Amino acid sequence: MERLRAAGAPIHCRHPERMNWADPEGEFIYGPFPLTMTRETVRVLAGDFFISSGSRALQVFLRWLVDENPTGEGSVAALLRRYPWIPRVYEATRKKKERAEAHSFLLEA
């Protein structure tokens, strides 16, 4: 993304001050401040969780979200009080991922 931005590509971001453009891969990294939790953020983080973890359980994801990401919340309960929609978005993302995997498995067979 840094190369695109340097070349003048119109990269739109709601919070450009939160981007770390120094990443050698050119990908953005959120800083050490609380993330703005949006549905899209949860979808992206769920995808990262699926890759980095062998589990797909909601409670494991919520604990991972609190422990590994700067959400600004100190516990799973506090996170769910502030963002009660996270389980719905996570489950929808999980189901979509499982359908995609099943479809790719059928194509390979």
Per the structure block, which two tokens stand in for 61? 């994801």
- CA nearest to 92, candidates 60, 67, 56, 68: 56
Using the Cα atoms of residue 97, residue 53, residue 51 and residue 60 in order, give the sign of their dihedral: positive
pLDDT digits (tens, 9 = 90+) for 48-69: 898 888 888 999 999 998 888 7
Per the structure block, which two tokens stand in for 26? 């050119």
Task: Give the whole-angstrom CA distance, residue 64 versus residue 39.
Answer: 17
pLDDT digits (tens, 9 = 90+) for 3-28: 666 676 665 555 555 555 445 555 55
Do residues 42 and 30 make contact, with C-beta atoms less than 8 angstroms apart? no
